[in-house]
């Protein structure tokens, strides 16, 4: 392998190299520093004479005396079954003092797109034990459902609770968790690791850690390594894999950093114009393939800068993912856990995995009715602030009361409280029974007759 | 200039945009890039540099690899076999790609858009000696339940038929020869970026019936018209698009999933074959062509997907069919343009979009229309484009440039979807400019009462919006009696007429008669209510009328006629009682 010592320019994470032989786009590059240590990078732009290399670590120590070796291949990830239970760095190197991964295969980390024709339809209901997800924003296998949160909100607790409780009722297929942390703090890492150890989850997990003080550019490859691992476990070893990516905001910041270093024309708020395509190349790596047993379900966490859901990061994510779970500061301030605001939350694949034969026939309509009732109650709160409760009609007072009950009984639950879907549905009905029956316009009469507590009691 | 040097070499690779030298090329020539022969298209010529957008992933491609110019522009294959197909953005059948390269989309694989082995039964409708011109229909193939009409390609010269065959042929075999030497097969190719010619564009005066009450009832689109559905994520764009693809009364549906979600395309792929066309009872898939270029498939192919789709739509239009084309989402298409433009280091326009964004959008929407075809038939292409404005902000360039062109605007509203009011189309912001041209159709085909009824409903909803502002300040009890009734009527319009459950087997499609009956029943209540007020009945008795509570259930009943008659009768007798008591 030829080594060049022809670096002409170093700018931020980018290194410009003059070369004579052809170098492939996205080829893996090794940089050998004067002290003998090595750094890795990837080709971003290649032409007859100059190659632009993006270095995954800091460029500290890189200078004109640095040797550059082009490896002739794109980045590949060694994968194998013994990855389960391992903790790796954001660049895929063992971090737990254990041996290197024995590769059964070496896979390209960019990952090809699943042919839409080969995709299976995700319709297996995952019970997370959290009512606001199971009943009103149902997660199904193969879905990508992010948690939109803000700094200082308990999104990590929610993610952990989901990882701990998630199951497909009545199934005992093998499952695995792939956890990729991008730019999280040491403290958060400890929280996650302690939890994984406490519940014994680590033995069926693969953990990738890029911490806040690790190089930002490494964050570009961390989620790709994690998803490559997940796809391998799911589509070659038949695991049902839950991928947790946190925090996507840090990933996007890294993307912006590289864009700026390349002096690209920036898009909205300085983020690169191709951020949608780039994010899609991560989020879309979830799903089910016809004829394969495993599945990849993605739960990514992102913190909305300034709690602003229209910020480019949550905005572009929301256009790719199949819904979103929105964590809300007001509910958090009221002391409600999990502070999930159902109104802006959504699960797009919900209708595929619920109803007769999946959960219960009344699921969809109960959910719609709860949404409608809560939305109306929340609206009325604004009115009460102006005119006072007394000016409301009896009907309106009923909905106001309903919204309170909904937050305190339905949304609120314990960190270890694992509600079955039946429990959540019955709880929903229990709240709806206080609304006059003719106001339940979202539910057809037949279902009311069958499930409304008033009639159920009579039947019993 | 004649293309002399058809083989050049790669000079630079940066993502999906590559540069080649030592090559003669014209704009939009299709080229094969690298040792793996990846498909690309020339998008810029700068001195010796030929700049190419590549439809596949370029990882690992090196400078010095060969580039070959095919000398052709990006074209689609048009002929029997299009229906029920599922393509990527450059008309490669996804099913064939799975067979060729497995579950993931690898690169360097070519696959023709149509099967070249399959034989189709060709029945001529012209005979030897007949004079034919471009666009003349010379024969028919029963493709699904749809008859695929074989036309003289638009680029052919007019002539007399020398010989025409009948029987079973592949799409490449010659079925007809003309005296001018032209040989006609069942398939011909057409460059996607050039609109197919027509005799004349006509005024759209027939509505596209969609079975969606808010669209048919309040904001109809005409066959051959254009409509945009902008809305923030989660407001139900895709559900609305899919409902339109399922239920609109077009004969052919072309659905372009442009940069959208893989799982959603799968939903379409699994659902459409199972769903029945309400008119024919046949699977919906039989009248559908799907183009799926998901968000993680190559960005250049996403840019092309919209053109591939509309060219196929125009082809069926030329056979005399009404075609509706759904593009979900045009914003992703615009973003693909932006991405490629920024790789070309072009001077950006607004928000980084290229300066030619508006021109490209209007060129695309202008390919819609109701036309007199070259064969002197009537055909139409209705274009319904979803727009995904970042942050739900309608002032952004894609939405604004789209609104300048389209005639129908269905504004999706996140607030409505949050309270599960679906379809979440805001009735105050939406509009349709087709109302006048279509009114005659409604008079003749629905009822002469329809147009006034629609106007009445809009007035009530508008009035409610004004009253709501007051209610926000003083509460609803403070309103005068008459206005409380208005609010109640508006609530009924919203909950009974406007809300529609796309997931309910009955409510998902509502024909014009049922729409009319529901609206009439609400109007009946309204008239009776005001009359009762005048007779001195108190408001709470009017708004608390029992029989009207049964009305919402009508939506879920297939044979609704006896039920709605019963409800109207009960309402009447209840009102009579109230008036007598007062």
Put simply, the answer to whether B295 touches A277 (Cβ < 8 Å) is yes
Q: How far is CA B172 from CA A98, B80, B151, B184, B185, in A?
A: 62, 11, 14, 9, 6
Check whether A451 has a pLDDT greater than 90.
yes
Secondary structure in 3-state letters for A78-132: EECHHHCCCEEECCCCECCCCCCCCCCEEEECCCCCECHHHEECCCCEEECCCHH
A-interface mutation test, from B475, B481, B495, B560, most A Cβ less than 10 A away: B475
- How far away is chain A from the Cα of B391, in angstroms, using its nearest Cα? 4
Provide, rounded to the nearest whole percent, the portion of chain A with pLDDT above 70. 99
| Other residues' Cβ atoms within 10 Å of the Cβ of residue B123 | 13
Answer whether A25 sits within 8 Å of B59, measured CB to CB: yes
Option in B292, B338, B393 nearest A273 (CB): B338
pLDDT digits (tens, 9 = 90+) for B351-364: 888 999 999 999 99
CA distance B159 to B178: 6
Give the pLDDT confidence of B282-329 residue by residue, as tens digits.
888 899 999 999 888 888 899 999 999 999 999 999 999 999 999 988
Q: How far is it, in rounded angstroms, from Cα A221 to Cα A251?
A: 9
Mean pLDDT on A396-417: 94
How many CB atoms lie under 10 A from the CB of residue B347? Answer: 8
Asked whether A232 and A76 are in contact (CB, 8 A), the reply is no
> Residue B480: CB partners within 8 Å, gap ≥ 6?
none
- How big is the CA angle at B301 (ends B326 and B44), to the nearest 5 degrees? 120
How far apart are alpha carbons A313 and A233 in whole angstroms? 29
The reported pTM is 0.89
B1 pLDDT above the threshold of 50: no
CB–CB of A274 and B339 under 8 A? yes
Minimum-distance CB partner of B352 among A117, A267, A368 = A267
> Who among B11, B19, B59 is closest to A110 (CB)?
B59
CA distances from A110 to A179, A225, B63, B240 (A): 18, 9, 21, 33
Chain-centroid distance, C-alpha A269:
23
| Element holding A393 (H helix, E strand) | none
Note the helical H segments in B506-560.
512-534, 539-543
Determine contact: B482 vs chain A, CB below 8 A: no
- For the stretch B474-495, what's the b/e string if a residue is b when 16 or more beta carbons lie within 10 angstroms of its beta carbon? ebbeebeeebbbbbbbbebbbb
Strands A323-327 and A340-347: antiparallel
Q: Give alpha helix (H) positions in B90-209.
A: 94-101
C-alpha closest to that of B260 among B299, B308, B292: B292
Mean pLDDT of A304-316: 92
Nearest CB to B390: which of A235, A312, A387? A312
Nearest to A371 among B295, B419, B477 (CB): B419
Rounded CA-CA distance B452/B435 in Å is: 12
**pLDDT of the residue at B172:** 95
Residue B171: asked if its preceding bond is cis (omega within 30°), the reply is no
Using the Cβ of B388 and the Cβ atoms of chain A, whether some distance falls under 8 Å is answered with yes
> Are B40 and B8 in contact, with CB atoms under 8 Å apart?
no
Do residues A297 and A291 lie in contact, with contact meaning Cβ atoms separated by under 8 Å? no
- Search chain B and give the residue with CA nearest A323: B234
Chain B residues within an 8 Å CB radius of A283: 295-296
Interchain CB contacts (distance < 8 Å): A and B: 233
Contact B105 A114 (CB under 8 A): yes
What's the mean pLDDT in A21-45?
A: 90
B13, B14, B393: residue with CB nearest A310 = B393
Count of other CB atoms within 10 angstroms of residue B88: 28
Question: How many CB atoms sit inside 10 A of residue B78's CB?
Answer: 26
pLDDT value of position A300: 94
Q: What is the pLDDT at residue B420?
A: 80
- For an interface test with A, which of B49, B106, B233 has the most A Cβ atoms less than 10 Å from its Cβ? B233
Closest residue of chain A to B545, computed from CA coordinates: A438
Q: Which of A225, A266, A224, A253 is nearest to A313 (CA)?
A: A253
What does the alpha-carbon distance between residue A278 and residue A46 come to, in Å, rounded to a whole number?
20
Q: Please give the residue that has the higher pLDDT: either B283 or B461.
A: B461
Q: Hey, is the C-beta of B469 within 8 angstroms of any chain A C-beta?
A: no
The answer, for B505 touching chain A at a CB cutoff of 8 Å, is no
Does residue B473 sit at the A interface (CB-CB below 8 Å)?
yes
> Distance (Å, rounded) from C-alpha A116 to C-alpha B265?
7
Whether the CB of B393 is below 8 Å from some CB of chain A: the reply is yes
Mean pLDDT across the stretch B148-176? 95
- Taking CA atoms, what residue in B is nearest to A378? B419
Going from the C-alpha of B216 to that of each of A27, B103, B211, B582, the distances in angstroms are 55, 41, 7, 40
Name which of A44, A319, A351 is nearest B388 (Cβ-Cβ).
Answer: A319
* pLDDT tens digits, one per residue of A5-22: 999 999 888 999 998 888
Q: Residue A202 is inside which H or E element, if any? A: none
Q: Cis bond leading into A247, ω under 30°? A: yes
Q: pLDDT tens, A86-95? A: 999 998 889 8
Q: Are A313 and A245 in contact, with CB atoms under 8 Å apart?
A: no
Q: What is the dihedral of CA A152, A153, A154, A159, to 10 degrees?
A: -110
Other CB atoms closer than 10 Å to residue A330's CB: what's the count? 10
The residue of chain A with its CA nearest to that of B268 is A121
Q: How far is A375 from chain B (nearest CA, A)?
A: 5
CB contact under 8 A, B299 and A274: yes
Give, in order, the Cα–Cα distances in Å from A312 to each of A221, B254, B333. 21, 31, 18
Q: Which whole number is the average pLDDT over B545-558?
A: 88
Q: Cβ(B258)–Cβ(B327) under 8 Å?
A: yes
Quick one: which of A89, A70, A75 has its CA closest to A31?
A: A70
pLDDT at residue A167, rounded to an integer: 87
Within 13 Å and on the Cβ side, how many CA atoms surround B575? 21
Mean pLDDT, rounded, for B9-26: 92
CB contact under 8 A, B296 and A285: yes
ipTM of the complex: 0.83
What is the model's pLDDT at position A274? 86
Interface check B48 vs A, CB under 8 A: no
pLDDT score at A403 = 95
Q: Does an H or E element contain B406, and which?
A: none
Question: pLDDT for A342-365, tens place per residue?
Answer: 999 999 889 888 998 889 999 999
Mutate to test the interface with B, among A20, A52, A115 (most CBs of B within 10 A): A115
| Helix H or strand E segment including B561 | helix B561-581
Q: Does B248 touch chain A if contact means CB atoms closer than 8 Å?
A: no
* Per-residue pLDDT reduced to its tens digit, B426-450: 999 999 999 999 999 999 999 999 9
Strand order in the sheet with A147-149: A87-89, A205-211, A175-184, A240-246, A295-303, A147-149, A323-327, A340-347
Q: Which residue of B has its CA nearest to A110?
A: B59
pLDDT in tens, B48-88: 999 999 988 888 899 999 999 998 899 999 999 999 999 99
Distances (CA, A) of B100 to A144, B95, B107, B111: 28, 9, 11, 9
pLDDT over threshold 90, residue B14 = no
Which among B393, B420, B471 is the nearest to A372, CB-wise?
B420
What string of H, E and C letters represents the secondary structure of B253-302?
Answer: EEEEEECCCHHHHHHHHHHCCCCECCCCCCEHHHHEEEEEECCCCCHHHH
Q: Do A348 and B264 touch (CB under 8 A)?
A: yes
**B476–A contact, CB cutoff 8 A:** yes
Shortest Cα distance, chain B CAs vs residue A215, angstroms:
23
For chain A, report the end-to-end CA distance as a whole number of angstroms: 80
Site from A117, A275, A305 to mutate, B interface, most B CB atoms within 10 angstroms: A117
Question: Considering chain B, what percentage of its residues have pLDDT values greater than 70?
Answer: 99
- For residue B489, give the nearest of B545, B569, B432 by alpha carbon: B545
């Amino acid at each position: 392998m030829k080594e060049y010592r022809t670096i002409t320019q170093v700018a931020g994470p980018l290194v410009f190299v003059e070369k004579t032989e052809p170098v492939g786009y996205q080829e893996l590059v090794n940089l050998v520093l004067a002290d003998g240590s090595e750094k890795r990078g990837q080709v971003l732009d290649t032409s007859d004479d100059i190659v632009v290399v993006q270095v995954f670590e800091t460029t500290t120590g890189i200078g004109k005396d640095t040797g550059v070796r082009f490896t002739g291949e794109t980045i590949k990830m060694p994968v194998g079954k013994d990855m389960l239970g391992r903790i790796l760095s954001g660049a895929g190197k063992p971090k737990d003092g254990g041996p290197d991964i024995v590769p059964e295969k070496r896979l390209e980390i960019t990952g090809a797109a699943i042919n839409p024709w080969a995709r299976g339809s995700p319709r297996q209901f995952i019970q997370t034990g959290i009512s606001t997800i199971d009943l009103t924003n149902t997660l199904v296998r193969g879905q990508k459902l992010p948690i939109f949160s803000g700094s200082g909100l308990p999104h990590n607790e929610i993610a952990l609770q989901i990882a701990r409780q998630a199951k497909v009722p009545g199934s005992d297929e093998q499952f695995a968790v792939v956890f990729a942390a991008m730019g999280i703090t040491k403290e958060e890492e400890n929280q996650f690791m302690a939890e994984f150890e406490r519940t014994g989850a680590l033995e069926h997990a693969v953990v990738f850690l890029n911490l806040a003080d690790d190089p930002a550019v490494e964050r570009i490859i961390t989620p790709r390594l994690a998803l490559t691992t997940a796809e391998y476990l799911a589509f070659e070893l038949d695991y049902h894999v839950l991928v947790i990516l946190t925090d996507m905001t840090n990933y996007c910041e890294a993307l912006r950093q590289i864009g700026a270093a390349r002096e690209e024309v920036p898009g909205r708020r300085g983020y690169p114009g191709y951020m949608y395509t780039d994010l899609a190349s991560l989020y879309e790596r979830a799903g089910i393939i016809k004829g394969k047993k495993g599945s990849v379900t993605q739960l990514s966490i992102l913190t909305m800068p300034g709690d602003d859901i229209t910020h480019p990061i949550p905005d572009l994510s929301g256009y790719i993912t199949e819904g979103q779970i929105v964590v809300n500061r007001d509910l958090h301030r009221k002391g409600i856990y999990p502070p999930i605001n159902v109104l802006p939350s959504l699960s797009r694949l919900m209708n595929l995995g619920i109803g007769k034969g999946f959960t219960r026939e009344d699921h969809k309509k109960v959910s719609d009715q709860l949404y409608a009732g809560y939305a109306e109650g929340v609206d009325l709160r604004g009115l009460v602030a102006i005119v006072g409760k007394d000016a409301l009609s009896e009907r309106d007072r009923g909905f106001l009361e309903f919204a309170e009950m909904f937050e305190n009984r339905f949304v609120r639950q314990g960190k270890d409280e694992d509600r079955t879907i039946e429990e959540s549905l019955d709880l929903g009905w229990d709240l709806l029974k206080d609304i006059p029956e003719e106001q339940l316009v979202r539910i057809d009469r037949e279902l009311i007759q069958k499930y409304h507590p008033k009639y159920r009691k009579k039947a019993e | 200039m004649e293309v002399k040097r058809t083989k050049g070499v790669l000079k630079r690779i940066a993502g999906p945009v590559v540069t080649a030298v030592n090559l003669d090329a014209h704009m939009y020539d299709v080229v094969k890039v690298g040792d793996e022969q990846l498909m690309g298209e020339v998008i810029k010529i700068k001195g010796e540099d030929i700049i190419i957008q590549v439809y596949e992933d370029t990882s690992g491609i090196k400078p010095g690899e060969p580039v070959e110019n095919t000398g052709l522009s990006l074209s689609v294959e048009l002929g029997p076999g299009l229906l029920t197909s599922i393509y990527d953005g450059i008309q490669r059948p996804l099913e064939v790609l799975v067979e060729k390269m497995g579950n993931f989309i690898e690169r360097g694989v070519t696959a023709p858009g149509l099967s070249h082995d399959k034989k189709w039964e060709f029945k001529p409708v012209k005979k030897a000696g007949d004079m034919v011109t471009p666009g003349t229909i010379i024969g028919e193939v029963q493709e699904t339940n749809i008859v695929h009409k074989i036309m003289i390609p638009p680029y052919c010269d007019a002539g007399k038929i020398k010989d025409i065959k009948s029987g079973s042929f592949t799409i490449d075999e010659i079925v007809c020869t003309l005296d001018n030497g032209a040989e006609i097969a069942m398939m011909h190719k057409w460059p996607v970026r050039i609109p197919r010619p027509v005799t004349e564009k006509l005024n759209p005066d027939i509505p596209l019936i969609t079975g969606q009450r808010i669209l048919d009832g309040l904001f109809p689109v005409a066959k051959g018209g254009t409509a945009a559905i902008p809305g923030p994520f989660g407001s139900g764009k895709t559900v609305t698009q899919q409902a339109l693809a399922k239920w609109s009364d077009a004969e052919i549906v072309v659905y372009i999933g442009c940069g959208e979600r893989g799982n959603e395309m799968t939903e379409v792929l699994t659902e459409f074959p199972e769903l029945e066309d309400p008119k024919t009872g046949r699977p919906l898939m039989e009248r559908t062509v799907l183009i799926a270029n998901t968000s993680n498939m190559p960005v250049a192919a996403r840019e092309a997907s919209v053109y591939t789709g509309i060219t196929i739509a125009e082809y069926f239009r030329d056979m005399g069919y009404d075609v509706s084309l759904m593009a979900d989402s045009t914003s992703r298409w615009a973003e693909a343009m932006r991405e490629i433009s920024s790789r070309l280091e072009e001077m950006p326009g607004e928000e980084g979009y290229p300066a030619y964004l508006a021109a490209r959008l209007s060129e695309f929407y202008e390919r819609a229309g109701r036309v007199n075809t070259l064969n002197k038939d009537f055909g139409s292409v209705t274009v319904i484009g979803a727009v995904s404005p970042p942050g739900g902000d309608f002032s952004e360039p894609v939405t604004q440039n789209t609104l300048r062109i389209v005639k129908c605007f269905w504004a999706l509203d996140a607030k409505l979807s949050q309270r599960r009011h679906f379809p979440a189309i805001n009735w105050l912001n939406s509009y349709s400019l087709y109302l006048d041209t279509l009114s005659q159709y409604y008079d003749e085909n629905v009822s002469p009462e329809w147009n006034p009824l629609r106007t009445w409903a809009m007035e009530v909803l508008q009035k409610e919006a004004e009253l709501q502002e007051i209610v926000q300040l003083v509460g609803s009890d403070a309103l005068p009696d008459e206005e409380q009734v208005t609010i109640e009527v508006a609530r009924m319009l919203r909950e009974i007429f406007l809300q529609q459950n796309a997931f309910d087997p009955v409510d998902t499609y509502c024909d014009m008669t049922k729409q009319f009956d529901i609206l009439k029943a609400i109007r009946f209540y309204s008239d009776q209510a005001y009359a009762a007020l005048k007779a001195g009945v108190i408001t709470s008795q009017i708004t608390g009328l029992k029989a009207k509570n049964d009305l919402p259930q009508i939506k879920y009943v297939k044979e609704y006629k006896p039920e709605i008659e019963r409800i109207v009768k009960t309402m009447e007798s209840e009102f009579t009682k109230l008036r007598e008591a007062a």
